[in-house]
Structure 1
């Protein structure tokens, strides 16, 4: 039992250390999560509840995403604005 617990703790610590960003000021804003939003982005479908939940959780990161050239197009696109509006999330003013 003790060996199993120790092995689990070691596994978690090792994997978390590899996932943690090294030079990020706000680690929560180093990636954008669009799970459940793909049909809304690609086809203009209504966003799912999962999509709206992900957008609400990432709301504090929107200005960081807008400033990041990699993520900018995903946050400033007409589809992104429509998703935010549908989900009741105000578009950020940075």
Structure 2
């Protein structure tokens, strides 16, 4: 009987974790400097590097914050910035 209760308890814990897991996200540290590998592609017609796309994907949750910051808006919202974002397969943020 005790094993059955323990099995049921374990199953409840597993279900609760499975339900909550999608809500847990890894914290992203917003750092515009991390996007420095993208500067060449933003300012020229060259395609973004894989390192640029990787960093851009990591910083995706930060893009709206960068757009709202006058110091960084010109890079993210520029035609070159939009080209790099879409070339990396990231939807252009609508903030």
**Equivalent position of 1:61 in the other structure:** 62
The answer for the alignment partner of 2:93 in structure 1 is 92
Provide Cα deviations, 1:29-48, integer angstroms capped at 9, x if missing partner.
2x312232132122210000
Q: Distance in 2 between matches of 1:35 and 1:70?
A: 14
Runs of 4+ aligned structure 1 residues displaced above 6 Å come to none
Gapped regions of structure 1 (runs ≥ 5): 1-25
Task: Report the count of equivalent residues.
Answer: 68
Distance of 1:39 and 1:76 partners within structure 2 = 15
Higher relative contact order (CA 8 A, sep 6+): 2
2:75 corresponds to: 74
For the aligned residue pairs, the C-alpha RMSD in angstroms reads: 1.8
1:42 aligns with 2:43: yes
Pick which of 80-89 and 38-47 moved more. 38-47
Shift in Å at residue 27 of structure 1? 8.1
> In terms of Rg, which structure is larger?
2
Displacement, 1:64? 0.7
- For structure 2, the 5+ residue unaligned runs are 1-26
Counterpart-to-counterpart distance in 2, 1:47 and 1:55: 10
CA distances 1:26-84 after superposition (whole Å, capped 9, x unpaired) = 9822x312232132122210000000001000000011111111111111000010001
TM-score in terms of structure 2 length: 0.64
